[in-house]
Structure 1
């Protein structure tokens, strides 16, 4: 798969079918666009392409209101490659691009990327102040000659799947719902760093995750997770919280990895949230905490879900 940044010369050599959107999380709704663009590109002997932004458009308006990420661009590229996309463009959303009118944006896709077909979601808005819509895309078909594919909404529990809804599920601790809407578990990755090392004194050594603060954190609590370490998957118990029993002060993400005893300080691991076990609780002492952790471990042992490795 080709990743396009600023140069579009190679893109113009092929007839391209382009799926457009933010694709944050690449949830089931997004994937319907991906499946379609790959299908129509193959059918027409063209190339499939995903056009998205390197940065969230709200970064130009108010950095304080930028939504927390579900997935970064590297993760998006991995998933898109897995699904057979030929090219992906991560376009910088800057002031010049923000001021582009809806018609100018469509012309940009046709001229710069030789777009022969566009695949969009049912509620797609684009261009300056989001003034462009599906009706305008239909009107401009005659002028620019592209095929247009509009995908219907995907639903879960009788409501439309969206990145906003998935973020809300994670904020509420409903990681299983998020998993079903994403078609894979929500995952945090980061370096394992040194912590207070209290867990090892009670038989539950934990890996402390230094994660990207731009990513959303699930609600404070204890979760059944799957941990990817050096291309192997392990079951885990992950605490998102302040560790009140041992007077923790800062918010941490700590994981006890089952059947694992290697030194992984400085290594990057992935923590995939599968199911919430319980809320965070302040226990009366370390022994009571140890007893509860034993119950949490039994919960994890009895869980059958195991993530598949990313390709």
Structure 2
């Protein structure tokens, strides 16, 4: 699905339902709007009014994938109120469905969201409250990115991790350790549970925020492959340990706790 140019929009010759809203997050409120649009049996177009921030709950490449699953035909983005009104006048859709926004369009159907707003969900993620975010998104908060080479420090410590390139376009979850899941996008996608470490890695003198994942019961080279990493449960905050030995012991405990929660067998030798 490509982003179409709203300034070049033309009148539609077939029945069209236009859905307008801030679609960062693709949360349950958006699900309800799209479900109402699909119920009409017409072609569906989305006009996304979300701001073009540096960090989003769902950057464009991820958002378009989710919208495709809703059978959305066309996707537009525009933040300017007057441009939106002008474009709707040209497009002349059969129906306009909107979230509860500060945008007055005659004849539009307004459906206030029963979910938290995208901004509220963003704050949940930034606070590490990924369980709360899941409840309002209707899916786990997730990052879709490409696996890149790192310093291989995790492998040296006995916990080989994957590093995600391009994750800087997403909202950063609070520094800490999370239980998660990962989908490796191949011809036949593969799914695994994982421990996620997000933060600045103070014990090893890290200076920049990174997201790394230790995939449970997995030992393959997947550099260059695209993955979707989902945050399921917050386990603990980031700690500056007194040396690598203390860090390794905590990592072993994190894995044991995660396996118990997930109902997985403990790693041999533990």
TM value normalised by structure 1: 0.75
2:142 to 184, 187, 210: 187
Q: Is 1:49 the counterpart of 2:9 in the alignment?
A: no
* Structure 1 unpaired stretches of 5+: 60-65, 127-132, 142-147, 156-160, 306-311
**Cα–Cα, structure 1 residues 149 and 304, in superposed 2: closer, same or farther, change >3 Å?**
farther
Tell me how far apart the structure 1 counterparts of residues 87 and 199 of structure 2 sit (CA, whole Å). 46
Match of 2:75 in 1: 89
Which of the two has higher C-alpha Rg?
Answer: 1
Matches within 5 A, 1:1-311: 3=2, 5-6=4-5, 8=9, 12-39=12-39, 41-42=40-41, 46-53=42-49, 56-57=50-51, 66=53, 68-85=55-72, 87-91=73-77, 98=80, 100=82, 105-106=84-85, 108-112=87-91, 114-122=92-100, 124-126=101-103, 133=104, 137=105, 140-141=106-107, 148-155=108-115, 161-230=116-185, 231-304=189-262
How far off is 1:26 after superposition? Answer: 0.8
TM value normalised by structure 2: 0.86
Tell me how far apart the structure 2 counterparts of residues 14 and 22 of structure 1 sit (CA, whole Å). 25
Cα RMSD of the aligned pairs, angstroms, is 2.3
Tell me how far apart the structure 2 counterparts of residues 276 and 265 of structure 1 sit (CA, whole Å). 26
- Structure (1/2) with the larger helix percentage: 1
Name which of structure 1's ranges 166-175 and 198-207 shifts more when overlaid on structure 2.
198-207
How far off is 1:80 after superposition? Answer: 2.1
Match of 2:267 in 1: none
**Cα–Cα, structure 1 residues 205 and 8, in superposed 2: closer, same or farther, change >3 Å?**
same
How far off is 1:78 after superposition? Answer: 2.0
Tell me how far apart the structure 1 counterparts of residues 192 and 18 of structure 2 sit (CA, whole Å). 38
How far off is 1:181 after superposition? Answer: 0.8
Q: How many residues align?
A: 258
Tell me how far apart the structure 2 counterparts of residues 187 and 285 of structure 1 sit (CA, whole Å). 31
Alpha-carbon deviations, 1:88-118, whole Å to 9, x = none?
222355xxxx3727xxx44531432x31111
How far off is 1:263 after superposition? Answer: 0.8
Name which of structure 1's ranges 76-85 and 286-295 shifts more when overlaid on structure 2.
76-85
